[in-house]
Structures are given as structure tokens and as C-alpha cells.
């Protein structure tokens, strides 16, 4: 589930733009999608060479380190990833290119291997075909479903593509007529001052060249399978994905949770940051007061992305310290976005009780996660998924809550506002849109 971004200037004096600064702010906005590895590629104005910079660290620390080298480049792409070995892909011949990818194309191997094969094939097609748009269209037709990517070539081309079902997001932005930007989320475009134009459509290819932008949609079908987990957890609340507001979806999730699984409580508390809109929606529906139940120490940490149980628990301790005045002596309706293993939620319930909570009713703004994701989203092995084998009553007992309930699959579909056949719900149902589960 990496976050990817591309920056492309036009017009006279385009070589004077500093792409690295735009990538820095954009990748900072996307860091919730991955914080273990940061990498960028810049096309330098004088040598016309693509230089790659990468490090296994946060975006802020990464830029502190590379700024000492005074890196320069007027066109650039970048990627943040939850895995240390998941960096930009480089192919040197026949056409030199660097590629940032989200998801997993249908080539054999793990996510990185599959994207390397895609990049090699794209390099060959670019050498064979006169029009880079034709090469991009062919790779989209060949590479299956479940991916999006941004590629930068030695010929000053930026090639952006999305799979035919639109599983992984890709959004377009601009700053006047001078700058074009592509990103996994619209929030990254907002942060750098760009105007959000809308999504790259499922099966669409967009090619930026010095004097033009060309677009081609390769899909002859209306079939879509937008990732439902983007709306629940992956995307920022201030993003718009596929023309749908993430915040609005999450607020509706809270309202539907209240309709389906209301609990008696004195206050509603959402687990930051994702579930805060859930709690507001639940509160508006039940007239239960909503409180800020936790405060965070240090930088934002997505504990679900941490590789070990110790790091996940410490992540929760850092970001979820309960506020005693909000919970002491009260019955709490605690709303979380999703539950994977259940261990961090168990720790959260325990901490609430330590701060004086009388009862804790847990409500989850998504259905149970029961399956892996063949499209690159980080999901633990199925034998670690607590919702796969245990009932809501059993989970409630294990995590120490007074009650526990998930949002229904139908409720999630209602909240997103798209027909079921336009969504990928595989991690919740085990059924995938391409009818083939790649392991």
C-alpha cells in the first residue's frame, strides 16, 4: 500500500523548478501509507540524467539527509512504503526509466518482483514504439489488475497508469498551466498547493511530455473494483478518492454503526486518527456526546504497519494515551476503524479501564478482515486474523470489552455509496473481482 507521487513542469524556464521540494511535502502527506522506506527519482536539468535517492527512514529525516547533498532536478517521482526493501524500481535498458508503484500487477513474484517485471516490459515497449502512450496502453492491457504506477524516463516522459478495474487510486492535480502532479491521494495535491482535477480513470494512461499531456483509456468495460479499505483506513480523511470524500464516507460509517449496533454509553470515543469521523457520525445519530479520549505523544504512528507485536503495542502506547477526565467513571462506546489481530485493541481497552472507564463497548467501522489482499495491501497471514475464526462474543471476551460488534458488509457498501459490483471487498469476504487470488 505505498504512496506514490509525480511532479512535472511545463513551459519556459521549466528547468528552474525544484521538484524535490514538491515531492517532500507530497510524500509527507502520503506517509500514512508507509513510513519504513522513502525514495525519490529526479531528472536533472543539465545532465538530463535520472538520479535516485532512497533511505529506510521517515520522509522528514530522509530530506534532512539528502539536503546536505543539494540534490536538484526539475522532474521527479517519489514513493513511501511500509517495507524497507520496497523502493523505486530502476530499469537501465533499453529505455532507462524509474517506476513508483502501488498494488501488485499480475506478474509472478512478490510485489517488488512483479513491478520490476512490469518496468522491464514497459522499457522494452518504449524502445519499440514511437508513441509512449501506445506503450503505456499495451502494458496496462498486459499487466492484469490491482495496480497503479508512475514512471519517469530518460526522455523526459512521465507515464501514469491505472489498472482496468481501478483497484488502486491515482489522482490528478495542477498548478495553473505550469505544473502537473499525480498522487495516490488528493490530500498530497492539496498540501503542495495544486488544484485537484479528479482521478485517473480505471484503465487510463496519462503521459506528460515537455509540450503536451496525452490521455487514453484502454478499458472497454464499465467494470470497476475500487478498494473498499481505502475508505475505511488507508486514505487520509481529507482526501477525495474516485470522486468520493473519505471524510463523508467515514462519517456515514459511524451513522450506520449506530443504526446497526448501537450501545448504551455515556460518551463516544474514536481511536485517532482514522476513526474520529466515525465517532462524530455515531454521536450525531445517537445523541451520545463525543469526547476526545486520547492524546498522542510524538509523531503520528500507524501501529498496524509495524512488523512486530512489541512495536505495535508501543505504537499504541505512544499514540493512544487515554485522557482520564474524558473516561473516568463513564461507560464508553469505543470506535475503531478495523481489527486485524486484536492485540493492540486489547491493550487500548485495558488502558481505558486503568484510567477509570466503567464499561467499554467496542464498535468497528468495517466488517471482519478474513482474507489476505492479492493487490499489495499489507494484511497478516490468515491464521493471525482474529475475525476469521472467532465470533463477536468471543472477541469481546478476549479483548476485555463489555461488547464488540463489526459494521456489516452491506453497511460499508451503503457508506461508500457505490454499488457492490464496483468495489473490491476481498479482505472482508474472501471474494476478489478478478476471480483469481494471487498469493
Domain boundary among 191, 224, 257: 224
pLDDT digit string, tens, across residues 296-355: 876 665 555 455 555 555 555 556 889 999 999 999 999 999 999 998 899 999 999 999
- Rounded average pLDDT over 391-404: 97
CATH number of the domain where residue 296 is located: 3.40.50.2020
Statement to judge: residues 107 and 193 lie in one domain = yes
Specify the DSSP element, H or E, that contains 260. Answer: helix 246-261
pLDDT digit string, tens, across residues 63-76: 998 887 778 899 99
Beta bridge partners of 90: 98
- Rounded average pLDDT over 226-230: 97
Does 237 fall in a domain?
no
Does 211 fall in a domain?
yes
Position 189 scores a pLDDT of: 98
Statement to judge: residues 151 and 279 lie in one domain = no
Statement to judge: residues 210 and 346 lie in one domain = no
* 8 A C-beta contact, residue 286 and residue 258: yes
Phi, psi for residue 334 in degrees, rounded to 5: -100, 125
Does 129 fall in a domain?
yes
pLDDT digit string, tens, across residues 238-263: 999 999 999 999 999 999 999 999 99
Statement to judge: residues 187 and 252 lie in one domain = no
Does 239 fall in a domain?
no
SS3 helix, strand, coil % of the chain, rounded to 5? 35, 25, 40
Question: CA 148 to CA 150: how far, in whole Å?
Answer: 7
Position 305 scores a pLDDT of: 47
Statement to judge: residues 219 and 261 lie in one domain = no
Question: CA 151 to CA 136: how far, in whole Å?
Answer: 10
Structurally, the chain folds into a number of domains equal to: 2
Provide the grid cell at 42: 529526479
435, pLDDT greater than 90: no
Statement to judge: residues 287 and 209 lie in one domain = no
CATH number of the domain where residue 80 is located: 3.60.20.10
Statement to judge: residues 9 and 148 lie in one domain = yes
- Rounded average pLDDT over 49-55: 95
Question: CA 80 to CA 36: how far, in whole Å?
Answer: 7
Q: Which residue has the cell 495544486?
A: 194
439, pLDDT greater than 80: no
Question: CA 287 to CA 360: how far, in whole Å?
Answer: 18
Domain that holds residue 150: 3-224
* 8 A C-beta contact, residue 160 and residue 75: no
Question: CA 227 to CA 219: how far, in whole Å?
Answer: 18
Beta bridge partners of 124: none
Question: CA 428 to CA 154: how far, in whole Å?
Answer: 42
424, pLDDT greater than 60: yes
Phi, psi for residue 26 in degrees, rounded to 5: -65, -45
Position 437 scores a pLDDT of: 37
Percent of the chain exceeding pLDDT 70 equals 94
237, pLDDT greater than 80: yes
Position 48 scores a pLDDT of: 84
Q: Nearest to residue 340, comparing CAs of 391, 378, 310?
A: 378
Extended strands (E) in 87-178? 89-91, 97-103, 147-153, 158-162, 171-175
Phi, psi for residue 90 in degrees, rounded to 5: -120, 135
Does 55 fall in a domain?
yes
Does 57 fall in a domain?
yes
Position 201 scores a pLDDT of: 96
For residue 420, give the DSSP letter. Answer: G
Statement to judge: residues 102 and 202 lie in one domain = yes
Percent of the chain exceeding pLDDT 90 equals 83
Statement to judge: residues 210 and 255 lie in one domain = no
pLDDT confidence band for 438 (50 / 70 / 90): very low
Question: CA 37 to CA 112: how far, in whole Å?
Answer: 13
pLDDT digit string, tens, across residues 146-184: 999 999 999 999 999 999 999 999 999 999 989 999 999
Does 51 fall in a domain?
yes
Does 423 fall in a domain?
no
- Rounded average pLDDT over 364-390: 92
Alpha carbon of residue 290 to chain centroid? 27
Provide the grid cell at 136: 503505456
Instruction: Give the DSSP per-residue string, 279-326.
Output: HHHHHHHHTPPB---EE--SS---GGG-SSHHHHHHHHHHH-EE-HHH
Position 71 scores a pLDDT of: 86
| End-to-end CA separation in angstroms for the chain | 16
* 8 A C-beta contact, residue 255 and residue 320: no
Statement to judge: residues 145 and 180 lie in one domain = yes
Statement to judge: residues 174 and 62 lie in one domain = yes
Statement to judge: residues 78 and 194 lie in one domain = yes
Question: CA 3 to CA 289: how far, in whole Å?
Answer: 35
Identify the residue with better confidence: 133 or 71.
133
Amino acid at each position: 500500500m505505498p504512496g506514490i507521487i509525480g511532479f512535472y513542469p511545463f513551459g519556459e524556464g521549466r528547468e528552474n523548478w525544484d521538484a524535490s521540494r514538491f515531492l517532500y511535502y507530497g510524500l509527507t502527506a502520503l506517509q500514512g501509507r508507509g513510513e519504513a522506506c522513502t525514495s525519490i527519482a529526479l531528472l536533472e536539468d543539465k545532465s538530463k540524467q535520472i538520479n535516485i535517492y532512497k533511505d529506510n527512514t521517515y520522509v522528514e529525516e530522509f530530506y534532512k539527509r539528502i539536503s546536505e547533498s543539494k540534490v536538484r532536478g526539475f522532474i521527479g517521482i517519489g514513493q513511501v512504503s511500509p517495507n524497507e526493501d520496497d523502493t523505486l524500481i530502476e530499469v537501465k535498458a533499453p529505455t532507462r526509466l524509474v517506476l513508483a508503484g502501488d498494488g501488485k500487477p499480475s506478474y509472478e513474484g512478490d510485489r517488488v518482483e512483479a513491478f520490476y517485471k512490469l518496468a522491464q516490459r514497459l522499457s522494452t515497449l518504449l524502445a519499440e514504439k514511437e508513441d509512449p502512450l501506445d506503450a503505456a496502453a499495451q502494458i496496462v492491457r498486459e499487466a492484469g489488475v490491482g495496480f497503479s504506477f508512475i514512471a519517469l524516463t530518460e526522455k523526459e516522459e512521465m507515464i501514469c497508469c491505472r489498472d482496468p478495474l481501478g483497484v488502486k487510486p491515482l489522482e490528478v492535480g495542477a498548478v495553473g498551466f505550469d505544473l502537473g502532479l499525480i498522487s495516490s491521494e488528493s490530500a498530497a495535491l492539496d498540501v503542495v498547493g495544486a488544484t485537484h482535477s479528479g482521478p485517473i480513470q480505471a484503465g487510463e494512461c496519462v503521459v506528460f511530455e515537455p509540450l503536451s499531456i496525452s490521455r487514453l483509456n484502454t478499458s472497454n468495460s464499465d467494470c470497476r473494483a475500487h478498494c473498499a479499505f481505502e475508505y475505511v483506513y488507508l486514505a487520509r480523511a481529507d482526501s477525495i478518492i474516485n470522486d468520493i470524500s473519505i471524510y463523508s464516507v467515514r462519517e456515514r460509517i459511524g451513522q450506520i454503526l449506530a443504526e446497526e449496533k448501537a450501545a448504551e454509553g455515556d460518551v463516544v470515543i474514536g481511536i485517532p486518527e482514522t476513526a474520529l469521523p466515525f465517532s462524530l457520525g455515531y454521536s450525531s445519530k445517537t445523541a451520545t456526546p463525543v469526547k476526545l479520549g486520547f492524546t498522542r505523544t510524538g509523531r503520528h504512528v500507524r501501529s498496524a504497519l509495524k512488523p512486530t507485536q512489541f512495536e505495535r503495542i508501543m505504537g499504541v502506547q505512544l499514540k493512544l494515551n487515554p485522557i482520564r477526565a474524558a473516561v473516568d467513571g463513564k461507560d464508553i462506546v469505543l470506535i475503531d476503524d478495523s481489527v486485524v489481530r486484536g492485540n493492540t485493541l486489547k491493550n487500548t481497552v485495558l488502558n481505558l479501564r486503568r484510567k477509570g472507564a466503567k464499561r467499554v463497548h467496542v464498535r468497528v467501522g468495517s466488517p471482519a478482515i478474513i482474507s489476505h489482499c492479492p493487490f499489495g495491501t499489507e494484511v497478516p497471514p490468515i491464521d493471525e486474523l482474529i475475525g476469521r475464526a472467532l465470533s463477536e462474543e468471543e472477541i469481546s471476551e478476549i479483548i476485555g470489552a463489555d461488547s464488540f460488534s463489526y459494521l456489516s458488509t452491506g453497511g460499508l457498501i451503503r457508506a461508500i455509496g457505490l454499488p457492490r459490483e464496483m468495489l473490491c471487498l476481498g479482505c472482508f469476504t474472501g471474494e476478489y473481482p478478478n476471480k483469481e487470488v494471487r498469493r
